[in-house]
Structure 1
Amino acid sequence: MYKYIVLGFLLIGFIGCKQETKVDKEDVVLWTPYNDSLEVAASAENESPRMRYKFIQSKVLDKNDVFLPLYDEVSQFSDEKYQMMKPLVLEQNIPSIQQSIAEGMFTYEDLVLFYLHRIYTYELPNNTTLNTIIALNPNVLVEARQLDRSQGNHHPIYGMPILLKDNIGTSEMKTTAGAIALMNNQTDDAFIVQQLKAKGALILGKANLSEWANYICRVCPNGQSAVGGQTMNPYGRQRFDTGGSSAGSGTSTAANYAVGAVGTETSGSILSPSSQNSVVGLKPTIGLLSRTGIVPISSTLDTPGPMTKNVTDNAILLDALLGKDSSDAKSVEPVDGILSAWVKPEALEKMRLGVMKNLMERDSLYAAAVEKLRLAGAQIMEFEPENIALDNFLTLLNLDMRADLPAYLRAEVKDRDAVRVENVEDVVNFNKQDTLTRVPYGQQLFEGILADSTSEADFQRIKSNLMDSGRSFFQIMERENLDAVLSINNYHAGYAAVAEYPAITVPMGYKPSGEPESLTFIGKPFSEAHLLRIGKAFEDLTHARKIPEAYKD
């Protein structure tokens, strides 16, 4: 019996060698905390203030607690099996993976082990970890074996391992929103998780996020949480921003840790990390997907959405999340055409696309992407966007969260002794007890919620005015009968948010530094199927996405 199994042995031996006896988990050390002070010091030179880190590794999360429950089974997954599966899984879309399974090349259990193998290989060493996996579902392999025994026709998401942003409730794991105040928050499945499970999706684990979905402090780095640590970008650890707040959903998908992930967006939180990590992210029309069981910022603007390596998988995952939820006042009946959107890409010559002149002038990747579309037959309508202010945007978020967070805590928290906060004020006071560990970057936004004295009448006017402002910004869509307006990354996410318009971002290339950049298509309400067909046509035209070089083995 080994006294300790240290990381060096893990990397050299556990992947390729079957063990004849089980290891006593109390004696196993897969991961050891390290001194991150040199990395923190190096980040002080970063030109971006939001990438000057105060910590890298979490001060409260022991990765052994995350990785030990599945260790025995993952350690017996052979390197030979991994190498055989790699060309059939890595960067492949869901239909291709399902075809390999149908042909008997591997099973759903093998597929889960393939992704776990990658997670253990890259996330345990401190020099390669992206700090992107915050929890693993201890039952996932049992669930996969049950799916392997089932016969019949299934939704394409059946058996596909999916990661969830850790503000989305699921019964197998805690739901923390990255906050120590919610570190022991046990919930039932969120409505969208129920939809996934009903169709046979496998919930692989939880992904790190910008704490409280990036609504805690003004200068927080994207992708940091007190629970999960500082998430990093696989295209350049500590060189490139992860985007936020669905940082872990973006980085884990880019690194091929799962088929895809579910993120959430209030304003840019799917579009930003998808773009920064060269994956496809779709922010739906408000109401297309339920928000029940998701830690909120704003019941006006919040929505979950799919994040995947390609448009095909995005359509499949989005369809699997659909369903009308009687508990969500904005929830609507599922719209048609999403699941099959990838099969028939929109004809390029039929597209009418709005292009912003100022972006053409300042961004060469955007200009090149537009020219490719033009040469392929798309009708390009150039315009100068109006300078429209989004006045009192933070007020909308403040007053929504002041009401929505207590409502979430009352409805979703199963153990009131484990989660002792009941509202924003309680969270602020809880964090003050240990600011260095709980809020090292401060909690100015939460304090702003408490200080906001806006009346209910003014609040309603602000919401109405913001929606009008957002829709005025995109009025060219109606005036010119456009299919979509083209943006970059999350540049115009705020306008799309308050207008409640959907958007899809698709990789369009890489800057000379290697930093990813994406083309974002913003469409009319409930035009998701059309946006997916447009996105698929652009993806087929460019094939821009490349796997991160350091995570391709």
Structure 2
Amino acid sequence: MKNNFFLLVTLFSIFSCKEKQDLIIFKKYDETAQLVEQQNHEKKRMQFKLFQSKVLDMNEVFKPFKDDLAYFSEEDYQSLKPLILEQDIPSLQKNVKEGKLSYEKLTLFYLYRIRKFESDSTLSLNSIIALNPEVIKEARAKDKNKDKVSQYSMYGMPILLKDNINTKEMPTTAGAIALQRNYTKKDAFIVEKLKENGAIILGKVNLSEWAYFFCSGCPLGYSAIGGQTLNPYGRKVFETGGSSSGSGVTVAANFAVAAIGTETSGSITSPSSLNSVVGLKPTIGVLSRTGIVPISSTLDTPGPMTKSVIDNAIFMDAMLGYDVTDNASKETKGMDSQNGFHINFKGKRLGVLKPLLSDSIYALNIKILKKAGAEIIEITPPEISFNDFRTLLNIDMKHDLPKYLLQQADKSIFIKNVKNVVDFNLKDSLIRAPYGQQLFDGIIKDSTTLEELEVVKGNLKKEGEKYLQFLKSENLVAILSINNYHSGIAAVALHPTLTVPMGYKLTGEPLSLTFIGQPFSERKLLEVGYAFEQLTKSRKIPENYQ
């Protein structure tokens, strides 16, 4: 009888705990007063029309994890925080190998953390669009082989993808209602590579709809599917950057080990900078674009977004591979991060843009680099023409989007081109396009021929190379910029960029140092970025997300 009593008490405790956990659910809240207040923001594009998604139900997104999370308590979460929060991949793998952590616990921690913050209307970042329903099962399977894993491996690491990257487990929407049910049969090439290397796909994140080539002057980080993504360093105060807004926000807030962004012109460097994370925009051809909703086959590339440079190199390696279906793809060597990066600036020639020295944080970091032994070469950049950049994006997307829809999208998707999307949105513009679709209208109206486009591309590339000519003439490892100030120039010149946190303004808004290198110089950029990161250690976790 006594044993039966204790059994009943134990069962009651378990079910009470489960009931308690289930109380944390996502509820829609009245955002009227917040929106009225937001209209006073000094930046017009931050005078939001809405915060919450009108189509996404996060209760449904979390439904597959209800039972598992019912047995994962706040105590479990708090005990795991020191092992996971702000830790790099080698540290996480070490904790797993030593038995302090498992891939299953790591995955549950992130799911619990996402739910904890995203279900709180005062802290929610509107950063998640979808979660992989099989992710816990996959993590358990990874635990069976945890003893054989290198510390410099993506194996068992839960990552998030920008929601313009195809995955079999979840739809790929680009944030657009027209693609809400885009259940692709194949993973994107880089996702296949990540899975081959043991990475766990945790879910998909919000983005600026259609990679911010949709509406003009609209908020960064807004999509009709995901709502308005917010910056954890200043909710409703600082911009998230775009278009890989959710990727930057979720890495900054420790919602996953890392995330993938995509860039055409600044879409990795911008959100990485504004969310104080490390972002690499590689040279076109280093990473495959197959299975990614496009803007421009000339300029598009995916790239890793991480909390540290070493993670960036490890993540980058796990996505490498020659893709016969991407005509820009190149065979490239890995970063060899297992042998480490040197922390030495001696003999490193770095170009400093004189007009930027008026920025006190930039100037301070240049002094730090000089003191550490770097050779600082001050540059007065030439005047260049950036005419017809919009034309390049217009005509590429006019031709590239139909190819994706035909070859990579779910066969049930009825839209076949940009005009179909515009017409579809006009049927319910308040829900589907509350900020308009001016850039899509511009694509339809642009009559530039493919022959004329080649001239535009050539001229822009020439102008970009002219601006960055000092890389060759002065034998520089990199030219140093701020945030995404020169991302467009690097893009048209087909140069890689790496952005690394370098400090915070008096307001608390993050600021980053961006290294622009020669084509295919990713290893050198990561080396110098790592040395800078170790020298300054500028990144701080957002205050309300510790």
What interval of TM-score do these two structures reach, taking the shorter chain for normalisation? over 0.9
Q: Quick one: structure 1 residues 73 and 358, their matched pair in 2 at CA, closer, same or farther if it must change by over 3 Å?
A: same
Question: Would you say 1:484 and 2:478 are equivalent positions?
Answer: yes
- Given candidates 71, 76, 81, the residue that maps to 1:86 is 81
For the 8 Å contact 1:338–1:528, the answer to whether it is kept is no
Aligned: 1:208 with 2:202: no
Cα distance in 2 between the residues matched to 1:60 and 1:344: 45
**Structure 1 residue 413 corresponds to structure 2 residue 417:** no
Aligned in 2, Cα 1:307/1:19: closer, same or farther, shift over 3 Å? farther
2:436 alignment partner AA: G
> 2:438 is matched with which residue: 444, 448, 451?
444
The answer to whether 1:220 aligns with 2:214 is: no
Q: Is the 8 A contact 1:315 1:339 kept in 2?
A: yes
Mapped pair 1:230 → 2:225: no
In the alignment, what sits opposite 2:156?
A: 159
Deviation at 1:339, TM superposition (A): 3.2
Whether 1:530 aligns to 2:527 is no
Q: Does 1:112 align with 2:107?
A: yes
Aligned AA (1:349): K
Q: Which whole-Å CA distance do the structure 1 matches of 2:278 and 2:220 have between them?
A: 19
Deviation, structure 1 residue 384:
1.2
- The amino acid of 2:392's aligned partner reads L
Identify the residue that residue 385 of structure 1 maps to in structure 2.
381
> What amino acid is the match of 1:108?
Y
Q: What's the CA shift for 1:21?
A: 9.3
Q: Aligned pair 1:174/2:171, yes or no?
A: yes
Is the contact between residue 26 and residue 59 of structure 2 (CA under 8 Å) also seen in structure 1? yes
Note if contact 1:335-1:526 (Cα within 8 Å) is conserved in structure 2: no
Q: Is the 8 A contact 2:350 2:377 kept in 1?
A: yes
Report SS of the residue matched to 1:325: coil
Give the Cα separation in 2 of the matches to 1:345 and 1:545.
Answer: 20
Distance 1:459 1:269 in 2: 22
Cα shift at 1:344: 2.0
Q: Does the CA contact (< 8 Å) of 2:175 and 2:225 recur in 1? A: yes
**1:463-482 matches, cutoff 5 A:** 463-482=457-476
SS of alignment partner, residue 348 of structure 1: coil
Within a 5 Å distance, the mapping from 1:326-405 to structure 2 comes to: 326-340=324-338, 343-361=340-358, 363-405=359-401
Match of 2:96 among 84, 90, 101: 101
Q: Which residue of 1 aligns with 2:7?
A: none
In the superposition, the TM-score normalised over structure 2's length comes to 0.95
> Which shows bigger deviation, 424-433 or 381-390?
381-390
Q: Distance in 2 between matches of 1:537 and 1:202?
A: 29
Amino acid at match of 2:218: C
> How far does residue 80 in structure 1 lie from its aligned partner after superposition?
2.7
Deviation at 1:125, TM superposition (A): 1.4
Which of 395, 405, 424 matches 1:430? 424
1:22 shift after superposition: 7.2
Residues 220 and 240 in structure 2, CA contact (< 8 A), matched pair in contact too:
yes
Q: Matches of 1:220 and 1:316 in 2, distance apart?
A: 35
Per-residue CA distance 1:82-111 (angstroms, 9 max, x = gap): 222211111010000100100000210000
Q: Quote the Cα distance in structure 1 between the aligned partners of 2:221 and 2:481.
A: 23
What root-mean-square deviation, in Å, do the aligned CA atoms of Structure 1 and Structure 2 show? 1.6
1:39 to 10, 19, 34: 34
Deviations 1:123-162 (A, max 9, x none): 1111111000111111000000000012534561000000
User: For residue 7 of structure 1, what is the aligned residue in structure 2?
Assistant: none
**Residues 317 and 335 in structure 2, CA contact (< 8 A), matched pair in contact too:** no
Partner of 2:5: none
- Return the letter of the residue paired with 2:119: L
Return closer, same or farther for 1:484/1:70 CA change in 2, 3 Å cut-off.
same
Query: Which of 485, 504, 519 is equivalent to 2:498?
Result: 504
- Show the counterpart of 1:546: 540
For 1:378-405, what per-residue CA distance to the aligned partner results, in whole angstroms no more than 9, with x for missing partners? 0000111122121100100011001110
How big is the shift at 1:314?
A: 0.5
Shift of 1:412: 1.3
Greater mean alpha carbon deviation, residues 294-303 or residues 54-63: 54-63
Contact 1:161-1:260 at 8 Å conserved across structures: yes
Query: Secondary structure of the residue that 1:507 maps to in structure 2?
Result: strand
Give distance in 2, aligned partners of 1:98 and 1:505: 25
Report SS of the residue matched to 1:381.
strand
- Long gaps (5+) in structure 1: 1-16
Partner of 2:3: none
User: How far did residue 20 of structure 1 move?
Assistant: 6.6
Residues in 2 aligned to 1:286 and 1:43: alpha-carbon distance in whole angstroms: 38
Number of residue-to-residue matches in the alignment: 530
Percent identity between the two aligned chains: 56
CA offset digits 1:262-286 (Å, max 9, x no partner)? 0000000000000000000000000
Task: Give the secondary structure class of the aligned counterpart of 2:167.
Answer: coil
1:421/1:369 CA distance change after superposition, 3 Å:
same
Secondary structure, counterpart of 2:153 in structure 1: coil
In 2, distance between residues paired with 1:208 and 1:407?
23
TM-score scaled to structure 1, two decimals?
0.94
Contact 2:18 2:71 in 1 (8 A): no
Against the structure 1 CA distance between its residues 528 and 205, is the aligned structure 2 distance closer, same or farther, given a 3 Å change threshold?
Answer: same
